[in-house]
Amino acid sequence: MLNPLNVKWIKSVTRDNGKAWAYTNYNLGDTFLLNFSKNPKWYPTNYLKAKPGEIIVLFQSMLQTLEYPAGWYMTHLITPLDNHIDKIDNTLHPYVRLVGVVGKPRNSNPINNEWSLYKCNRGQICKIDTIENKNRDLTILQKQEFISNLFEIDTHLLENLSNIEFEQIDFYENGVEEGSEKTKLKLHKYKERNADIIIKAKNQASLLNKLYCEVCSFNFADEYPNLGEGFIECHHKNPIATGGIRITKVEDLAIVCSNCHRMLHRKNNIGKYYSVDELKSIIKNKI
């Protein structure tokens, strides 16, 4: 259950000046890159105000169409997954932060016009107290409770924030992966560091005498007696771009060595990532 006190921030988002929805293709449990403008007054201090576990309300001002009336719509409750800002190739909104969806609205109606969001309609992260009710003076808690009740909540992501341990990554000799690719790799590290499923995958492989790399057959225990016993890495087979944080099954993971793991995260000459089977074929055929 979501604690309304965690709903601390609010941010406006827009697409095509209110003619189209922003981020509504992302659902409960999904993760995505939240864009921020290049305004030097706000970067980076404002964009890092919200901490992992704190909730940001996303809202957007929509123009009237045949499908929905004009008004302000609260479309997501999100939480940051780390304390980093990355940069991408986007002229107007070049800064991004990795966030996860913990709430989606119960209905598709705009909020009641007794509420005003003018003070927080700036694109920056604002305190939740900036929303106003035209008819009543409300406490911050009353505002937080009002917003919380608008949403269907999934706390799975919040409950697993403690598993996020983004480690320093030694990137490839061609240089650091930038922007969204770098952030996708960080998300992949989060998925792989869900301790319970990793332990389960390794234990299952060990019971089957398959605690060696599925790509090149490297066995740490054979190469490093005692020291390498039980050591191996896991790779999430499903591309990060196809979805957010989901309940991972053992069959979603591949047992791989460190070198092959890095190669699975390296793009080929047509800008694609190889699958486990494709990389295995490369080694086998030396192509």
> Which pLDDT tens digit goes with each residue over 48-99?
999 999 999 999 999 998 889 999 999 999 999 888 888 887 788 888 888 9
Q: What average pLDDT does this structure show over 193-220?
A: 87
Q: Does the pLDDT of residue 185 top 80, yes or no? A: no
Q: Are strands 95-105 and 31-36 parallel, antiparallel or unpaired?
A: antiparallel
CA 33 to each of CA 80, 111, 141, 234: distance values in angstroms, whole numbers, following the listed order: 10, 25, 29, 24
Same domain for 259 and 210: yes
Q: Is residue 127 part of a domain?
A: yes
Same domain for 42 and 118: yes
Q: Does the pLDDT of residue 279 top 90, yes or no? A: yes
Same domain for 138 and 63: yes
* Coil, strand or helix at 61: strand
Same domain for 36 and 141: yes
85 within 8 A of 38, measured Cβ to Cβ: no
Single-letter amino acid, residue 277:
D
State the average pLDDT for the chain: 83
Q: Is residue 79 part of a domain?
A: yes
Same domain for 127 and 77: yes
* Residue closest to 247 by CA, chosen among 186, 185, 156: 156
Q: Is residue 175 part of a domain?
A: no
Q: Is residue 76 part of a domain?
A: yes
Burial of 286 (0-12, 13-18, 19+ CB in 10 A): exposed
Domain of residue 102 covers 4-163
Same domain for 227 and 151: no
Which tokens is 47 given? 């964009």
Q: Cα–Cα distance between 210 and 32 in angstroms, integer?
A: 35
In sequence order, what are the beta bridge partners of 112?
none
Q: Does the pLDDT of residue 186 top 80, yes or no? A: no
Q: Cα–Cα distance between 43 and 286 in angstroms, integer?
A: 47
Same domain for 115 and 49: yes
Question: What percentage of the chain reaches a pLDDT higher than 90?
Answer: 51
Q: What average pLDDT does this structure show over 234-240?
A: 74
Number of domains in the chain: 2
Q: Is residue 173 part of a domain?
A: no
